[in-house]
């Protein structure tokens, strides 16, 4: 069972400790989870996990590529963790994959639509809980109707709030009846689209249920394009939502978020994030280069080290770059290989290219969270945010 203890709040940012009994793990928040696809860390085999420093203890397993195998896992009988050899992690199972855009308009009274390799599946709460029961995750999100965005009608938003609450109640009931899920933690989903009143209603009602934490969704339909989504656009919506929530339960914000957006969300009171962003960046052949080391010593008028959060290793300028992708980076890829080699791998569509980029991007993103926690504790979050504002406001170089 998940336990969350809030230790302090500084400039709106919460420093907390999240713990789980079995496996016995303790983590500091704000934190991010390790993204999985189909039960695997993208590109990286188990024996290379130790190469990623700061590897999260929580693995996020979206259901989209796993649903079609639920009867196999059921017959396997020992749960998804053993099936995927992830017993040393905390596994968080949730319906949608934020790295994949969810087509709009496919949820109805029969259930929620989830797209996998074999096409669309529609699940109601009972069917979803059948899967959760077979998977036996440590934490799981209740089934939710998050198919709303800034263009949704009031009627549609209202329906998503009501349906999500119905599903939550059904999921809680099933959880209480299940031997497998006795010690699992259920995460309630907060809806309300871009409507203040509906956000408040959803949050108020969900907070009354016996959930271990909250996941705030319904702002958009996920996918790599939501990288451009700005937390500032939903600042008020997040504020009114979080006001209704107890402080001793963590707040998950799923989505593809760059460091600047993460900081903004943390300042508003969010605790747990995903690592879909490093995956999206890897898929386009790019490597993170945002500075995490010299920002503290910079004056506001100093230009940032980089013009962007990332560089494209497909760019011909790296063809004879016999230096690491990112100077000073301590990741396995940068410590051992040159940008020229990674350029060559990407240019020849070799799998090792994506593998090395994924290691680098995960490493850098997890480091960001570590530096973020230190910055909060040292009351330097404003400077940290300004550092990323400066990078973000640079004119973008052609990649």
- Site map for other proteins, 280-319, x if CB under 8 A? ---------------------------------------x
Q: Which of 44, 211, 216, 234 binds other proteins (CB under 8 A)?
A: 44
Residue 367 vs residues 35, 215, 229, 335: alpha-carbon distances, Å:
15, 23, 23, 16
Other C-beta atoms lying within 10 Å of the C-beta of residue 57: 16
Site mask for other proteins (CB under 8 A), range 253-282, x = bound: ------------------------------
For 87-170, list the strands marked E by DSSP: 90-94, 112-116, 119-123, 139-141
**Residues 132, 140: contact at Cβ < 8 Å?**
yes
Residue 50 in tokens? 């130790």
Question: Which residues face 216 on adjacent strands?
Answer: 190
47 binds other proteins (CB under 8 A): yes
Task: Pick out residues in 356-375 that bind other proteins (CB under 8 A).
Answer: 356
69 interacts with other proteins by CB under 8 A: yes
Check: CB of residue 209 under 8 Å from CB of residue 168.
yes
SS3 call for 317: helix
What is the total count of residues that contact other proteins (CB under 8 A)?
Answer: 40
Q: Is the separation of the CB atoms in 338 and 322 below 8 Å?
A: yes
Three-state SS at 4: strand
Write the binding mask 10 to 39 for other proteins: x where contact by CB under 8 A, - elsewhere. ---------------------------xxx
> With binding defined as CB under 8 A, does residue 45 bind other proteins?
yes
- Choose, by CB under 8 A, the member of 54, 212, 296, 337 that binds other proteins: 337
With binding defined as CB under 8 A, does residue 183 bind other proteins? Answer: no
Q: Taking the complex as a whole, how short is the minimal distance between the CB of residue 101 and other proteins, in angstroms?
A: 19
How far is residue 267's CA from residue 120's CA, in Å, rounded to a whole number? 37
Applying CB under 8 A, the residues found at the interface with other proteins are 37-48, 65, 69, 72, 75-76, 83-85, 117, 319-320, 322, 332, 336-338, 340-341, 344-345, 347-348, 350-352, 354-356
């Amino acid at each position: 069972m998940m336990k969350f203890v809030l230790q302090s709040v500084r400039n709106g940012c919460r420093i907390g400790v999240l713990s789980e009994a079995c496996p016995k793990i303790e983590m500091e928040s704000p934190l991010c989870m390790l993204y999985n696809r189909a039960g695997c860390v993208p590109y990286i085999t188990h024996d290379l996990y130790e190469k990623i420093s700061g590897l999260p203890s929580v693995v996020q397993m979206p259901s989209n590529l796993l649903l079609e195998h639920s009867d196999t896992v059921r017959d396997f009988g020992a749960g998804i963790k053993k099936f995927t050899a992830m017993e040393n992690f905390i596994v968080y199972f949730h319906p949608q994959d934020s790295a994949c855009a969810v087509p709009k308009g496919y949820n109805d009274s029969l259930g929620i639509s989830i797209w996998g390799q074999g096409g669309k599946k529609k699940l109601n709460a009972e069917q979803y809980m059948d899967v959760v029961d077979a998977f036996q995750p440590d934490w799981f999100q209740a089934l939710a109707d998050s198919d709303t965005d800034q263009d949704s009608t009031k009627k549609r938003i209202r329906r998503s709030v009501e349906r999500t609450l119905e599903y939550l109640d059904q999921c809680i009931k099933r959880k209480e009846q299940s031997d497998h899920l006795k010690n699992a933690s259920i995460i309630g989903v907060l809806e309300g689209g871009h409507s203040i009143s509906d956000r408040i209603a959803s949050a108020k009602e969900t907070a009354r249920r016996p959930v271990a934490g909250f996941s705030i969704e319904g702002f958009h339909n996920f996918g790599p394009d939501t990288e451009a989504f700005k937390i500032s656009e939903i600042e008020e919506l997040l504020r009114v939502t979080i006001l209704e929530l107890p402080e001793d339960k963590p707040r998950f914000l799923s989505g593809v978020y760059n460091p600047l957006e993460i900081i903004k969300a943390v300042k508003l009171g969010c605790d747990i994030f995903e690592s879909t962003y490093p995956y999206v960046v890897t898929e386009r052949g790019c490597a993170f280069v945002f500075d995490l080391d010299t920002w503290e010593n910079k004056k506001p008028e100093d230009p940032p080290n980089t013009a962007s959060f990332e560089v494209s290793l497909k760019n011909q300028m790296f063809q004879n770059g016999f230096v690491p992708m990112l100077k000073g980076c301590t990741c396995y890829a940068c410590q051992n290989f040159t940008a020229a080699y990674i350029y060559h791998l990407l240019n020849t569509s070799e799998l090792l290219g994506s593998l090395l980029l994924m290691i680098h991007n995960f490493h850098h993103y997890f480091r960001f969270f570590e530096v973020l926690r230190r910055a909060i504790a040292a009351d330097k979050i404003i400077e940290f945010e300004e550092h990323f504002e400066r990078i973000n406001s640079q004119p973008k170089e052609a990649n």
